[in-house]
Amino acid sequence: MFEIRIHGRGGQGVVTAAELLSLAAFDEGRFAQAFPSFGSERMGAPVVSFCRIDDREIRVREPVMEPDALIVVDPTLLHQVDVFGGCKPDGFILINTAKGLDELGLGEFVKDFRHERLLTVPASELAREYTGRAVANAALLGGFAALRGLISLDAVARAIRERFAGTVGEGNVAAAQAAHAWVAEEMREMSGVASG
Amino acid sequence: MLRQVEGSRAVAEAVALCRPEVICAYPISPQTHIVENLSQLVKTGELTPCEFVNVESEFAAMSVAIGASATGARAYTATASQGLLYMTEALYNASGLGLPIVMTVANRAIGAPINIWNDHSDSMSQRDSGWIQLYAETNQEALDLHIQAFRLAEELSTPVMVCMDGFILTHAVERLEIPAQEQVDAFLPPFQPRQVLDPDEPISIGAMVGPEAFMEVKYLAHAKQMQALELIPEIAADFKRAFGRDSGGLIRAYRAEDAETIVVALGSVLGTIKDTIDELREEGVKIGAVGITSFRPSPLDAVRAVLGHAQRVVVLEKALAIGIGGIVSANVRMALAGIQLHGYTVIAGLGGRAITKASLHRLFTDAAADRLEPLTFLDMDWDVVNRELDRVACTRSSGPHAENILRDVGTVAAGPV
């Protein structure tokens, strides 16, 4: 079983992101369970959503406490909420930011994680470019597909189109593709550095 | 068709496939998505003929359902928590009049303190209202139970509550098999009411009954539930033949045949319990579980048949009967009358506190070694409780518990407000 936790704020599509991830996994023939953190939802409040993916029926109903992957939609949460709580040292982490980790003041937080699995992507900027709105959820899923390879970019695109019709869907698919390319390039650079 | 869909949406579609003619509802979390989806299906004409009635309260919702059902319409509503309490008087009328209304309860805690999260306090408070109560373990079972519920309700002419865990099930998106309309039509015949208010053939429903006949009329509601003990497994078997799935029935056992310790529970927590049992079995602990699907009628014989061979029973329940402890456990003890067993009541998950595999693992290990108190509160922070008890003991004007405890745990700022 692979468990993903998504952090963001009300209005940023955090719950939808988990749902889209589960749709993409379902599309690829897997079992998936997506659910929100059940708060009193309101704009701007910290929100958490979860997605489990497995090759067999998922029975467990507890929140994801030791995620295999973290997606951080809003980096301003990093100093407010224990975003990394329970995250496995070999876990995958994708943070939506145009800044570096040190610039975010995260150097200390993330030093124990494997650097090639901890990436940033300017998903809000990409979303604004392709959809006109800085809602980064779909773009981040494209980036996540590149980072972990658990679900394909095609499955993410189909999930986005199933949920959002017309130009909204197409714009988000384009943002997801751009984020996928961005993360894939980042990973190539890293492996180049590692091998060279 | 196999789809990845939210539990609430799936239940709404299952209800729509049952062709209800009147749906009335008042929004309350976590039930809202179900009736929102249904109102959309009515508005778009996908569910027709059906009248969706927006009412002004839950009392009105149940009253409209009663009126609709009495005129021979298949009637449905949904509620939760305070909403269920607000319709209590009408609930008793629906069952007392023998009207086969189907209602979803998206289980949620009851205030005060106000809390929107899941536990079973709401439906458990209405366990003796005369409604049949079925508890869904999964979203697949939730949608399947609604299809079975209409048939059960109408065959017996008595109302049925389908209880599903709020948020945990209602807001979870997962892989679900949504049946085809032809399948449901073949399984669920059109509603043939036992009693109809019809202007062309006027009768009255709801007569005042005095001491000369009240007990007899009341007993008939009990007799129907005793018939339901036979009918629920029959309908589940029919459902399996028609849809190919095990859903419903009275109870369901898991790895219980040779179990020395058996955990009894209702609803979605059974999934986490089963995963924990698999872990403990790996360690050699002989443990199993029984899920109660039909809480009303209470399947005493079925429960006795499975639990009778065990050495100890742990009843894990998401409601607290203040002043005594367990509700489900009292019912289970009734099933085990005359059998000597170690019995433990565990209150867990109140107000949405997560019930984790780690906590269940510790709990069941302690239970298997008979190290549990007769009444245990899973993951209770006793330091917090004891500090408040100290404040109450020291100061007459110690203030409200909820606010004091929130300050203590740091949810709100410390110090006087």
pLDDT in tens, A117-144: 999 999 999 999 999 999 999 999 999 9
Residue A41 has pLDDT above 80, yes or no: no
Domain B252-377 has CATH 3.40.50.920: yes
Asked if A18 reaches chain B (Cβ–Cβ under 8 Å), the answer is yes
CB within 8 A of B94, min separation 6: which ones?
B62, B65, B66, B69, B101, B130, B131, B159
Smallest Cβ distance to B171: which of A22, A35, A58? A35
* Amino acid at the residue B178: I
What are the residues whose beta carbons fall under 8 Å from the beta carbon of B368, sequence distance 6 or more? B260, B261, B280, B285, B286, B287, B312
- Percent of chain B having pLDDT more than 70? 99
Amino acid, single-letter form, for residue A50: F
- Token pair 């005042």: residue: B208
Residue B280: the pLDDT is 98
Contact B239, B256 (CB under 8 A): no
Q: What average pLDDT does this structure show over A4-21?
A: 95
The stretch B231-251 carries a mean pLDDT of: 98
Residue B228 · residue B294 · CB < 8 Å:
yes
User: Quick check: B170 contacting A, CB < 8 Å?
Assistant: no
Q: Domain B2-243's class?
A: alpha beta
- Please determine whether the domains at B2-243 and B252-377 fall in the same fold group of CATH: yes
Contact B173 A40 (CB under 8 A): no
DSSP state of B111: P
Q: Taking the mean position of all CA atoms in its chain, how far away is CA B306?
A: 22
User: What is the domain partition of chain B in residue ranges?
Assistant: 2-243, 252-377, 383-417
Phi, psi for B288 (deg, rounded to 5): -145, -175
Of the candidates A32, A36, A59, the beta carbon closest to that of B175 is on A32
Instruction: Tell me the pLDDT band of A39, cut-offs 50, 70 and 90.
Output: low
The string of DSSP letters for B163-214 reads EEETTTTTT-EEEEEPPPHHHHHHHSPPP--SS---TTS---------TTTH
ipTM reported for the complex, 2 dp: 0.94
A72: number of Cβ within 10 Å:
25
Among residues of chain A, what percentage have pLDDT more than 90? 74
Supply the pLDDT for residue A194. Answer: 58
Confidence of residue A116 (pLDDT cuts 50, 70, 90): confident
CB of B125 within 8 A of CB of B145?
Answer: no
Mean pLDDT across the stretch B124-130? 98
A38 → closest Cβ in B171, B271, B357: B171
Q: Looking at beta carbons, which residues of chain B come within 8 Å of A23?
A: 4, 173
**CA-based nearest residue in chain B for residue A63:** B354
Query: How many residues are listed for chain B in this entry?
Result: 417
User: CA A88 to CA A67: how far, in whole Å?
Assistant: 7
Closest approach of A11 to chain B, Cα-based (Å): 17
Q: Is the pLDDT of residue B145 over 50?
A: yes
Query: What is the distance in angstroms between the Cα of B31 and the nearest Cα belonging to chain A?
Result: 13
Contact check, Cβ <8 Å, A61/B271: yes
Q: Does B413 score more than 80 pLDDT? A: no
CB B349 within 8 A of CB B119: yes
pLDDT in tens, B33-89: 999 999 999 999 999 999 999 999 999 999 999 999 999 999 999 999 999 999 999
CA angle at residue A42 from A37 to A45, to 5 degrees? 70
CATH of the domain at A127: 3.40.920.10
Q: Are B109 and B117 in contact (CB under 8 A)?
A: yes
- The pairing of strands B173-177 and B2-6 is antiparallel
Query: A16: domain range?
Result: 2-195
Return the percent helix, strand and coil in chain B, to nearest 5: 45, 20, 40
User: Could you tell me if B135 lies within 8 Å of chain A, comparing CB atoms?
Assistant: no
Question: What's at B363, amino acid-wise?
Answer: L
* B415 band by pLDDT with thresholds 50, 70 and 90: very low
